Structure 1
């Protein structure tokens, strides 16, 4: 699956890269959710409000967003990076001591 990552997109909780085209990622996510729903009684994470992105930093405490946006503003004009996704890890995500940690449960090839 060919995607582009960027530009940088800071918000109140962290810094991410936008992912395009969204429809490919949304379709893959829906397929994985359907597979999970076939074996589990409920599927984690709501289907709504999904926004494809790549997180590159999280904020560990409240901080004003405007100074961060100002520092990253020049990066918003950089061209997106083209990437090819060949496989998708399915993970068990947990938060320990204010840090996200995960274990890879399975890996599946991407649909393209």
Structure 2
């Protein structure tokens, strides 16, 4: 599949939003929150994606960006609960509900590309948006059936894979925008996500650390 076709099926607004930025903001300036459980979509990192990420990270390796390691790449689907607000029994019940709800969902073939982002981060868009959103909604319904007070995020859903977070505020976006513009013609990468993951996420000084608590297989036909 050509890179042009890849770009046509991705969320083109990712790059458009980024090109309009005037200045960057510090992603880490927000107050730290307690550890929390999230739904992630995880996948193996094939060599062509690893190469794409490294090339892009080399181009944006400015001191005001903190780059993510390959092993940390993921797609965030939804927030479930802060650690102290949910019990192990509830988590296990959510797992059972999610396995049942996802039993007919097949593995997701995802295209990662169209570099862009926000004032606080740079990342790739992911598609097909409709199928990713359907998985997010399915997991959300399973979560709410057990834990109706889940602090889900109601913001507009733009599936993405972050590769860098900004660590400074009031920095001109000109340099970063120019670097991303030069990368706009790169070929996208295809990956297959065979499972969703419930993870425990912890924010550190200028990074995140997460641990998969359990996995939800996507093995439908």
Same-fold call, TM > 0.5?
yes
TM-score range, shorter chain: 0.7 to 0.9
In proportion to residue count, which structure has more strand?
Answer: 1
Superposition pairs of residues 20-31 of structure 1, within 5 angstroms: 20-31=127-138
In proportion to residue count, which structure has more helix?
Answer: 2
The equivalent of 1:6 in structure 2 is 113
The equivalent of 1:67 in structure 2 is 175
Report the Cα distance in structure 1 between the residues aligned to 2:157 and 2:149, rounded to whole angstroms.
17
Secondary structure, aligned partner of 1:83: strand
- Give TM-score, length-normalised by structure 2: 0.47
Q: CA deviation at 1:111?
A: 5.8
In the alignment, structure 1 residue 19 sits paired with structure 2 residue 134: no
CA displacement, residues 65-108 of structure 1 (integer Å, 9 cap, x when unaligned): 22101012121111221111111211122312232222212111
RMSD of aligned Cα (Å) = 1.7
Q: Based on CA coordinates, which of the two structures has the bigger radius of gyration?
A: 2
Report the Cα distance in structure 1 between the residues aligned to 2:177 and 2:219, rounded to whole angstroms.
35
The equivalent of 1:79 in structure 2 is 187
Count residues in correspondence.
Answer: 112
CA displacement, residues 38-86 of structure 1 (integer Å, 9 cap, x when unaligned): 2213223323312100001111222322210101212111122111111
Distance 1:111 1:75, change over 3 A: farther
Report the Cα distance in structure 1 between the residues aligned to 2:172 and 2:135, rounded to whole angstroms.
34
In the alignment, structure 1 residue 39 sits paired with structure 2 residue 146: yes
Distance 1:71 1:37, change over 3 A: same
Unaligned runs of 5+ in 2: 1-107
Contact 1:8–1:75, Cα closer than 8 Å, also in 2? yes
The equivalent of 2:35 in structure 1 is none
Distance 1:5 1:48, change over 3 A: same
Q: CA deviation at 1:18?
A: 0.6
